[in-house]
């Protein structure tokens, strides 16, 4: 099998919490706490979990928009974890992001054509007529008309603004696009159109998506594999069908039980979890899910479970063979 396009190993991102006038250190937010995964060319990995579980911090760390505390990020065989600004520049072309709120991520004073064409100028790829032609082609690829290049962001609908963001992400011919909740700010009727556009573009260009979302139905539609995050860690990762039909981690089971999925083949499960997510400033010892897990035993309060094989291309971080109560 070929080398993965993206390889993330034991990624950690901690933020200090400061209090009072003197801004004394009062604790540490464990935003990401030892995350590892890989992503092949042309593959989509869905990263799901509740708000605050660290999935967006993983995305921003991968893109080096925030500096990891430790761990390693390899893109196409190159370790980019500690590359300086200049050395990172060619790799930045290969990695793009589409944010959740298209309006906030577009400069309201620039025309849509200038927004999409800006990366071509910044990276010295095209100017003048050449740039205009490339931008017109990008507009066509995302389902916008060429004459809309002259319009400003406020003259577009929410779905069209996200198409502008996607066109801008495509401009430099990326190999990896991080989609950070790209449809959650859109009307439900528009969400499917944008997701289908992303799927069509991937088929045409074979790039990879790291797709962040809290909506499992959306993730199920676009992903090849799915990783479930809880309190800064991946607790389960598997091929999409395997994960949805045979969830092994109690948290994944709870997530699936709480989301309506329009697929009669998916087994419905009773809700298995109570209470709120603990604070990432003071995560529980042992298995961080033990405060909410109906299967928890004393050992779960002490021992931190590692991701272990639980089937073909299926890994679970649980000390029990979840759902059966048998120890591993
Ligand atoms: Fe639940 Fe224990 Fe498994 Fe954690 S390790 S998910 S607490 S059974």
Encode pLDDT of 63-98 as tens digits.
999 999 999 999 999 999 999 999 999 899 999 999
Domain boundaries, the chain: 6-94+174-246
- Across the range 191-212, mean pLDDT stands at 95
pLDDT at 105: 83
pLDDT band at 265 (very low <50, low <70, confident <90, very high): low
- Across the range 205-226, mean pLDDT stands at 93
Q: Ligand 1 — pocket residues by CB below 6 A?
A: 249-250, 287, 289-290, 293, 295-296, 300, 305, 318-320, 322
- Per DSSP, 283 falls in state P
> Residue 214: is it exposed, middle or buried by C-beta count within 10 angstroms (0-12/13-18/19+)?
middle
How far is it, in rounded angstroms, from Cα 142 to Cα 298? Answer: 53
pLDDT at 2: 64
- Kindly tell me the sign of the dihedral angle through the C-alpha atoms of 219, 220, 226, 229: positive
Ligand 1 atom closest to residue 303's alpha carbon, by position in its atom list: 5
pLDDT band at 324 (very low <50, low <70, confident <90, very high): very low
Give CATH for domain 6-94+174-246. 3.40.50.300
- Across the range 312-320, mean pLDDT stands at 93
Cα of 320 vs centre of ligand 1, distance in Å, is 6
Residue 150 has pLDDT above 90, yes or no: yes
Residue 146 has pLDDT above 50, yes or no: yes
Cβ–Cβ < 8 Å for 36, 66: no
Q: If you count DSSP H runs as helices and E runs as strands, how many of each does the chain have, helices first?
A: 9, 14
Cα of 89 vs centre of ligand 1, distance in Å, is 42
pLDDT at 268: 56
Residue 258 has pLDDT above 90, yes or no: no
Cα of 322 vs centre of ligand 1, distance in Å, is 7
- Across the range 12-21, mean pLDDT stands at 85
- Element of type H or E holding 96: strand 95-98
Residue 325 has pLDDT above 80, yes or no: no
- Across the range 108-115, mean pLDDT stands at 96
Ligand 1 atom closest to residue 294's alpha carbon, by position in its atom list: 1
pLDDT at 291: 93
Which has more pLDDT, 167 or 326? 167
Residue 193 has pLDDT above 70, yes or no: yes
Structure tokens of 157? 């609908």
Residue 277 has pLDDT above 90, yes or no: no
Residue 125 has pLDDT above 70, yes or no: yes
The neighbour count for residue 16, using CB atoms within 10 Å, is 11
Cα of 61 vs centre of ligand 1, distance in Å, is 28
Cβ–Cβ < 8 Å for 33, 283: yes
């Amino acid at each position: 099998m070929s080398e993965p396009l993206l390889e993330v190993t034991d990624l950690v991102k901690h933020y200090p919490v400061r209090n009072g006038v003197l801004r004394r250190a009062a604790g540490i937010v464990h935003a990401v706490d030892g995350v590892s995964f890989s992503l092949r060319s042309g593959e989509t990995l869905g990263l799901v979990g509740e708000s605050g579980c660290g999935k967006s911090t993983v995305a921003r760390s991968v893109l080096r928009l925030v500096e990891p505390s430790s761990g390693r990020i390899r893109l196409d065989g190159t370790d980019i974890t500690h590359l300086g600004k200049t050395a990172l520049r060619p790799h930045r072309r290969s990695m793009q992001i589409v944010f959740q709120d298209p309006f906030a991520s577009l400069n309201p004073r620039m025309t849509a054509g200038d927004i999409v064409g800006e990366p071509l100028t910044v990276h010295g790829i095209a100017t003048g007529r050449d740039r205009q032609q490339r931008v017109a082609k990008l507009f066509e690829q995302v389902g916008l008309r060429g004459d809309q290049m002259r319009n400003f962001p406020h003259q577009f609908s929410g779905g069209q603004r996200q198409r502008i963001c996607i066109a801008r992400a495509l401009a430099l011919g990326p190999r990896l696009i991080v989609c950070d909740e790209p449809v959650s700010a859109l009307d439900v009727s528009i969400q499917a159109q944008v997701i289908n556009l992303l799927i069509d573009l991937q088929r045409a260009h074979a790039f990879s998506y790291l797709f962040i979302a809290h909506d499992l139905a959306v993730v199920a539609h676009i992903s090849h594999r799915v990783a479930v995050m809880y309190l800064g860690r991946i607790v389960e990762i598997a091929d999409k069908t395997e994960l949805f039909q045979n969830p092994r981690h109690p948290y994944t089971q709870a997530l699936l039980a709480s989301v309506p999925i329009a697929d009669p083949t998916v087994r419905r499960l009773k809700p298995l979890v109570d209470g709120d997510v603990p604070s990432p400033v003071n995560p529980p010892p042992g298995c961080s899910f033990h405060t909410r897990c109906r299967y928890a035993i004393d050992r779960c309060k002490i021992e931190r479970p590692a991701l272990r094989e639980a089937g073909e291309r299926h890994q679970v971080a649980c000390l029990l063979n979840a759902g059966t109560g048998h120890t591993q």
